[in-house]
Structure 1
Amino acid sequence: MPRPSQNILSTSAIARAALALVEEKGDFTIPGIARALKVNPSSLYHHLPGGRLEIIHRMREELYARIDVGALRDVTRSPEDRLRAWMGDVRAALATAPGVVIVLVSSPVQDALTLAIYEALFEILRDIGIPVDRRMAFAAMIDAVVLGSAVDAGSPVPLWQADPAENPELHAAAARDDDESRASTAFALAIDVTVAAVQAAAVSRRG
């Protein structure tokens, strides 16, 4: 039986192509995805009629597919443990394509998977004891830490090119610790600081 003349498209294939374009060029276009997949742009609209916005939704789903949302919502675990896991899981997902962060934050979140992941975060904040009128601010702060660390995961090693005469303190620190572990060590510290800040703001535990 002859092979089909065109690639078999799927929403996942389109999302992966978009992710690859963002990592290479900083953004994607529908004609660019079509060229990468060797199909007509109209074929993309057949699979994702919402165009660019729907492709971004599918990109999020592609990145977050391995996150175990059930584990993040498991109330037999302490909320602090779930917060640490949430931050680690989301950062790990985004760090596979750090260049995509700017594209993702430029569009509203509507896909079911990402909403479920963030529902888990708000449940964690509730269970730690953050008042409802402060949860959005804390969630945005946590998001900033995670998104920033995911972008940092794509930075070169070493990062700091400091002159010892002009920047002696930075040079001394970079000479010791500006290596492959810098980003992950910084993120582990950020998790500790974030959990401590959330605990300090808690007013009660849910019974």
Structure 2
Amino acid sequence: MLKKDRYKAFVEYFSTHNPDAQTELHYSNPYELLVAVILSAQCTDKRINQVTPALFERFPDAETLAASNPEEVFTYIRSVSYPNNKSKHLVGMAQKLIGDFQGVVPEKIEDLIKLPGVGRKTANVISSVVYHRPAMAVDTHVFRVSNRLGLTSNATTPLAVEKQLIKYLPEETIAVAHHWLILHGRYICVARRPKCELCPITYFCKYFEKNYKATAIQPATNPND
């Protein structure tokens, strides 16, 4: 199958079966999403959603967070990964948000990455989810699934994956495609043993073609056929 055909099948399937895919992080405004995404690095969304209610109650906006200190913030996020570093990042982020952006979460990637704790992946999440820009955040799920499906090739870095996905995906689908890839990687195309026997898109999956072609597992059929 040609790459363009894989992209076509990918978009057609998920546009039909999960057109409104969204982040599983709980938030009610851009500030809360920014905090949640910073916390979610190398941690599960489930854990972050357990932590953020109390955190947001104590620090409902950038002003209150900026006026705090890492030691206090730590007491609210001690159960997440790397709480010491993330406590420092959150306070620094809030202080810079107040000092440089009047407390408003910026829209542009180049501005977002100036904030402590915000790398390109986090910046792309905010840009796409909050501002609906065609930005592709590449985390471990996106990296793994796009490679297994055959949407990317010879892409050994997150930036290389990001560039290939943006190049081939229709612009209007880029933001939601980020969630398609994450959710598929989280529940079906898991890291250690992908659940190919349950996967509905093996009919265009390069990994399945390579590893299961001669087995008893049959590829899923194209629902558009």
TM score, norm. by length of structure 2:
0.25
TM-score, length of structure 1 as denominator length: 0.27
Larger Rg: 1
